[in-house]
């Protein structure tokens, strides 16, 4: 399974991205469990927060965008793991 995370915005308005191919990882089942635990409902849009990040998370063909102020729970855990264990995309 291919997972990509893209962060945009913030004070400097920069974009950073990471990706991981879970089949190439030592523990693909743990990734499957993590993705399986994601809520089916994406956090509702909230009023814009100045200089907040926006996170776009793509799992296979499904993408969701979550404001940084609403990134929590299983979504935050997935983003954190992709950033920690995935490969950064070139800028």
Each residue's pLDDT tens digit, 23-48: 999 999 999 999 999 988 776 666 77
Check: pTM over 0.85? Answer yes or no: yes
More confident position, 91 or 11:
11
Q: What is the pLDDT of residue 45?
A: 67
Q: What local confidence, expressed as pLDDT, does residue 43 receive?
A: 67
Residue 5 structure tokens: 């995370």
Which class for 66: exposed (0-12), middle (13-18), buried (19 or more C-beta within 10 A)? buried
Q: What is the mean pLDDT of the chain?
A: 90
């Amino acid at each position: 399974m291919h997972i990509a995370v893209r962060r945009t915005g913030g004070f400097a308005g920069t974009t950073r991205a990471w990706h991981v191919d879970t089949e190439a990882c030592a523990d693909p089942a743990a990734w499957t469990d993590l993705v399986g635990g994601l809520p089916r409902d994406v956090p509702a849009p909230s009023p814009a927060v100045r200089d907040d990040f926006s996170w776009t998370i793509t799992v296979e063909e499904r993408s969701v965008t979550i404001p940084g102020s609403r990134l929590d729970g299983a979504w935050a855990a997935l983003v954190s793991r992709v950033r920690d264990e995935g490969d950064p995309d070139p800028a």
